[in-house]
Amino acid sequence: MADAERKLSNGTARVDFATDPSRYHHWKLSIDGDIATLLMDVDENAPLFEGYQLKLNSYDLGVDIELADALERLRFEHPQVKVVLLRSGKPRVFCAGANIRMLAGASHAHKVNFCKFTNETRTAIEAASELSGQRMICVVSGSCAGGGYELALAADHIILTDDGSSTVSLPELPLLAVLPGTGGLTRITDKRKVRRDHADVFCTTEEGVKGKRAVDWRLVDEVVPNTKLDEIVSERAREFAGKSDRPGEAKGVTLVPLKRQRSADGAEYSTVLLELDRGGRLATITIRGPEAPPPKSADELVSQGAEFWPLRLARELDDAILDIRLNEFETAVIVFKSEGDPEAVLAYDGYLKANAGHWLAREIVLKWKRVLKRVDLTSRSLVTLVEPGSCFAGTLAELIFAADRSYMLIGQIEGDNRPPAAIMLGAANGDGSLPMSNGLTRLATRFLGEPQSVEKAQTAIGQKLDAERAAELGLVTFALDDIDWEEEIRMFLEERASFSPDGLTGLEANLRFGGPETMETKIFARLTAWQNWIFQRPNAVGEEGALRKYGTGQKAVFDIKRV
């Protein structure tokens, strides 16, 4: 079993998302000035779970956990890196895609969450290029199939070796009776603008496409003979590096291990407390506000590094959300709470905005953007409770607008000397720095068709808003007094836990992402919905289905009725 694995109370394997380069089994990261190379060299004997081998650079969730960690470290620990070369360490194969034995044996919940995490990793690659100036060039030598090609599609530029055998393919439909699970269909049409008829041929051809046709159909950017490959790769890397605004001489910050203490019923971090009530099917995440003011200079920001409160909190919240996703499948509701001074939270937001030109401040805001999107895309009911002593302000107020519902207490509870509940809006709630997958702010998504409501809310930036005022502005779902507080919330949580999880997943995914459709919403909503359904059909996962029969030499038996 992988190093990152522990056991849940029921004896099943716990997936841990915390890792570091010293524990990598599958990736080798090297740095040469402003160029980094990520070498995919999967150890076939180090799967995340037992029962399969990761042959031909195929991958499982463990491989992608390491990739996500490497990408994060490139952004924070190596600010001088302007171009990342993605290459294979195996001869005659780039990547065979997601491991079929793993998919055939995994639970449906694991398959869907595996696809979701890999999708998030690929969109992070694209965000690094667009927003962090860290471009990626994928160098394909050998077979590049399925999820391997989907990984290549996330890069800015794909170079295919012209050796008569190197190919790109999306063979999931003809081979496995499923669809590409990490954005392949969407990226070839929306990102690479592959013609519909060409895409149809490509996605129904097992052997893939190579050479000049791959370029003509826009499946890759160029084909290069082996004799000139290193020369052209170096030339392209210099071209892309010349367009980057990454700080060449900046000193990075080390992403030290998370401070996390697990227990049978949750985990305690330095800024986050995760409490699990498995009987009630609840997970409560309590966020602790800052205990000290922000630093006075940008130099202090770098010296604090991973201990800087917003970065520390973002990393810990991300870990807690992923822990619930992959290890607590029966959790129905995630409850967000907070404790601290809302003005202190706004002070940190203000500090980051004042230093927006600093590379590290930029990366911290972008980290928050990714973490909040992770919250949006988590298939659990989300509720935020704004109670006395809460610190939902600025960036943390986004957790109110990300929730399916929010409740705010009017005044105080008898015997509780904490200050009355208050919300404070900041620039982060309206400046577009923390958009959802639809490209809109959470406030704009909340008030679709009501721009006046967004404007009205923004006039209250910097004010301490009590429950009645927050409700008047439409910032919370319900404002309740202390007489109704506990009973109303108890009824809501019990009701939510009684509903069909499948129905709730569909309901919440439909309601959370109003507004325009983007490539990202197509990947996470449209594609994921179809893949979610197809992964449960007998044609794919039944005893005679294609996933089960793959590699046996036997043909799958399909139910031939169209539905």
Q: pTM score, two decimals?
A: 0.95
Task: Look at residue 45 and tell me whether its pLDDT is greater than 90.
Answer: yes
End-to-end CA distance of the chain: 40
Task: Give tens-digit pLDDT for 449-493.
Answer: 999 999 999 999 999 999 999 999 999 999 999 999 999 999 999
Residue 525's pLDDT is 84
Higher pLDDT pick, 382 / 9: 382
Residue 435 neighbours by CB distance under 10 Å: 17
Is residue 420 within 8 Å of residue 388, measured between CB atoms? yes
**Rounded to the nearest 5°, which phi and psi values hold at 380?**
-135, 150
Residue 129 amino acid letter:
S
Residue 4's pLDDT is 38
Task: Give tens-digit pLDDT for 156-211.
Answer: 999 999 999 999 999 999 999 999 989 999 999 999 999 999 999 999 999 999 99
Q: How far apart are CA 174 and CA 170, in angstroms?
A: 9
Residue 326's pLDDT is 96
What residue spans define the domains of the chain?
A: 6-170+210-241, 260-511
Task: Give tens-digit pLDDT for 365-421.
Answer: 999 999 999 999 999 999 999 999 999 999 999 999 999 999 999 998 888 899 999
Residue 12's pLDDT is 60
Task: Give tens-digit pLDDT for 496-526.
Answer: 999 999 999 989 988 998 999 999 999 998 8
Average pLDDT, the chain: 94
Beta strands 405-409 and 381-386, pairing class: parallel
Same fold, 6-170+210-241 and 260-511: yes
Lowest mean pLDDT among 11-15, 162-166, 351-355: 11-15
Q: How far apart are CA 333 and CA 318, in angstroms?
A: 17
* Average confidence (pLDDT) over 230-258: 95
Task: Give tens-digit pLDDT for 116-164.
Answer: 999 999 999 999 999 999 999 999 999 999 999 999 999 999 999 999 9
Is residue 25 within 8 Å of residue 2, measured between CB atoms? yes
Confidence of residue 10 (pLDDT cuts 50, 70, 90): very low
Contacts of 276 (CB under 8 A, 6+ apart): 265, 266, 282, 283, 328, 331
Residue 468's pLDDT is 97
Q: How far apart are CA 326 and CA 15, in angstroms?
A: 7
Task: Look at residue 62 and tell me whether its pLDDT is greater than 80.
Answer: yes
Share of the chain above pLDDT 90, in %: 90
Q: How far apart are CA 286 and CA 220, in angstroms?
A: 46
**Rounded to the nearest 5°, which phi and psi values hold at 295?**
-65, 170
Tell me which architecture the domain covering 6-170+210-241 has in CATH: Alpha-Beta Complex (3.90)
* Average confidence (pLDDT) over 235-250: 94
- Choices 3.40.50.10880, 3.20.20.70, 3.40.228.10, 3.90.226.10: CATH for 260-511: 3.90.226.10
